[in-house]
């Protein structure tokens, strides 16, 4: 699909398929076209070119039916300040032909003790949980969640993550839009990386990480003098950075063995040794050329 706003191309060429029952991530830097993509998929906007099919429905032509079956949590969607949690859910329940039970949903989302609290009195995490609840009140087959954890503190974020896994367990397909690597890595079965309005990769999180080249990152510090040139010439080692007694190396899977060989031969003890695999983060930087 393709979407322009005047001269600005928001979505140039985005194409992906979401399988039933999976958590599909749409990952990309801010302004990459994620929200526009989701707005077209949910029928809020019409694409200029291309074809979208959601559960066999056309978001524009069949929008009434689509709205019954797709729950959407939009970025920055708020509620009236004085509206209470339970009232909001009961109100939204009345919009759907087969609503879930509001009280049961409140319990499931851990809002039991806040059911009579006004929207303005809720914490950020509670507001997001209510927002998820509103996306689920119509018993949708697909839930689209846009930037769910932006602006939440780490504890609240983890809480919401747990919730999303629980929802998937009930058989709802989830499309998760995010710019957080950690979130995509923890939750998504597969994800599409979008940048400048294009899908630049679609894969599992570990598959994407593998694309960063299977590099290993070795960090350690030494108390004896050690020349970085001595490590740089080793086979399997690709780069060496030294900062005082701290060493940071990259290399392939056999690099660690080679480095340890040198250290043992010289009788040098490596302290604080750490070995990292390439992460989704690295893959993202490699793919988009951007540091998040």
Residues near other proteins (CB under 8 A) are 42, 44, 64, 67-68, 70-72, 74, 76-80, 82-83, 87, 90-92, 94-98, 134, 138
Answer left, alpha or beta for residue 213, where phi above 0 means left and psi between -120 and 50 means alpha: left
* Closer residue to other proteins, CB minimum distance, 137 or 256: 137
CB of 185 to other proteins, least distance (A): 27
CB of 81 to other proteins, least distance (A): 9
CA distance 277 to 214: 7
* Closer residue to other proteins, CB minimum distance, 59 or 251: 59
Between the two ends of the chain, the Cα-to-Cα distance in Å is 26
CB of 39 to other proteins, least distance (A): 10
DSSP-derived letter for residue 40 is H
CA distance 105 to 132: 10
CA distance 199 to 26: 9
In degrees, to the nearest 5, what angle opens at C-alpha 91 toward C-alphas 89 and 94?
105
CB of 30 to other proteins, least distance (A): 18
* Closer residue to other proteins, CB minimum distance, 13 or 87: 87
* Alpha helices (H) in 7-117, listed in sequence order: 34-41, 63-69, 85-93, 102-108
* Closer residue to other proteins, CB minimum distance, 92 or 247: 92
* Closer residue to other proteins, CB minimum distance, 97 or 170: 97
CB of 82 to other proteins, least distance (A): 4
**Cα separations (Å) of 230 from 66, 256, 267?**
64, 14, 14
CB of 80 to other proteins, least distance (A): 6
* Closer residue to other proteins, CB minimum distance, 94 or 123: 94
Instruction: Decide: 125 and 94 in contact? Cβ < 8 Å.
Output: no
CB of 96 to other proteins, least distance (A): 6
Length of the chain as a residue count: 292
Q: Which residue has the tokens 């329940």?
A: 93
Measure the CA dihedral 107/184/141/63, to 10°: 120
* Closer residue to other proteins, CB minimum distance, 58 or 189: 58
CB of 6 to other proteins, least distance (A): 16
Q: Which of 192, 126, 138 is nearest to 163 (CA)?
A: 126
Q: Which residue has the tokens 């846009």?
A: 146
CA distance 131 to 77: 8
* Closer residue to other proteins, CB minimum distance, 109 or 263: 109
């Amino acid at each position: 699909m393709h979407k322009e706003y005047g001269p600005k191309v928001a979505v140039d060429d985005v194409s992906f398929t979401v399988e039933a029952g999976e958590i599909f991530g749409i990952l990309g830097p801010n302004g990459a076209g994620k929200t526009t993509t989701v707005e077209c998929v949910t029928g809020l906007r019409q694409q200029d070119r291309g074809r979208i099919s959601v559960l066999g429905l056309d978001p524009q032509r069949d929008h009434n039916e689509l709205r019954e079956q797709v729950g959407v949590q939009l970025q920055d969607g708020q509620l009236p300040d004085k509206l209470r949690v339970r009232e909001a859910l009961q109100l939204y329940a009345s919009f759907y032909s087969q609503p879930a039970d509001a009280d049961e949903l409140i319990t499931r989302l851990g809002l039991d003790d806040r059911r009579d609290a006004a929207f303005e009195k809720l914490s950020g995490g509670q507001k997001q949980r209510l927002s998820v609840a509103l996306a689920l009140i119509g018993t949708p087959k697909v839930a689209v969640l846009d930037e769910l954890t932006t602006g939440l503190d780490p504890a609240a974020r983890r809480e919401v993550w747990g919730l999303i896994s629980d929802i998937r367990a009930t058989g709802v397909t989830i499309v998760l839009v995010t710019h957080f690597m950690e979130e995509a890595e923890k939750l998504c079965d597969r994800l599409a990386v979008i940048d400048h309005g294009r899908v630049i990769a679609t894969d599992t999180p570990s598959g994407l990480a593998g694309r960063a080249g299977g590099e290993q990152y070795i960090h350690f510090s030494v108390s004896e003098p050690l020349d970085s040139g001595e490590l740089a010439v080793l086979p399997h080692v690709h780069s060496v950075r030294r900062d005082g007694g701290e060493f940071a190396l990259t290399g392939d899977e056999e690099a660690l063995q080679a480095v340890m060989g040198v250290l043992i031969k010289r009788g040098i003890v490596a302290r604080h040794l750490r070995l990292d695999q390439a992460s989704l983060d690295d893959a993202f930087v490699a793919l988009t050329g951007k540091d998040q």
